[in-house]
Amino acid sequence: MAHAAPAPGRTAVATRTPDILSERAHAIGRWAVPVGLGLVYGYWAAANERSGGPITGWNLLLGFVSAAVFAAVFFGLLQVAPHMRREVHAVVWSSFAGIAFGFMYSLTGASILRSVVMSLAVAATFFVILFYRYYTHEDAEGHRIS
């Protein structure tokens, strides 16, 4: 098939994907996503800690505290991380993922050394993926390239 040659002197204009959600939906999502993920994380932490045993008060407390801390840190990172340089941005999110995974893994009864090694592996993997993404989608100051 034949294609038209580009006209001289004209460049392609990048267009953004249309935003189909209202500003109110975005405002609700900024709170709902961290809270929802925090609740899932807290439930998962409590389930890992009890290992199929009976639900106790301490188990419930661990779940709610884990959920609150996870949601608070996640919300804080959503507010602060986009204003950082791409290298620091990737380090912050990969550290969060590694720490969250390491805590969850340590609740399964694994040794501390095994938990640390697995956590570092997860954090390193997240760093490589996130750094690549930020490096290809942001300039050196951290502004998104459109």
* Domain coordinates in residue numbering, the chain: 24-83, 84-146
Residue whose token pair is 């840190």: 73
Count of CA atoms in the C-beta half-sphere (13 A) of 57: 0
Judge whether 63 and 100 are in contact, CB under 8 Å: no
Judge whether 96 and 128 are in contact, CB under 8 Å: no
Q: What is the DSSP letter of 144?
A: B
Joined tokens for residue 33: 């996503």
| Confidence (pLDDT) at 115 | 94
What is the distance between the alpha carbons of residues 14 and 5, in angstroms, rounded to a whole number?
18
| Confidence (pLDDT) at 100 | 96
| Confidence (pLDDT) at 53 | 85
Per-residue pLDDT tens digits of the chain, which is 146 residues long: 666 666 666 655 556 677 788 888 888 888 999 999 999 999 999 999 988 888 889 999 999 999 999 999 999 999 998 888 888 889 999 999 999 999 999 998 889 999 999 999 999 999 999 999 888 876 766 666 76
Judge whether 71 and 35 are in contact, CB under 8 Å: yes
Q: Classify burial at 5, counting beta carbons within 10 Å of its beta carbon; exposed 0-12, middle 13-18, buried 19 or more.
A: exposed
What is the distance between the alpha carbons of residues 35 and 69, in angstroms, rounded to a whole number?
10
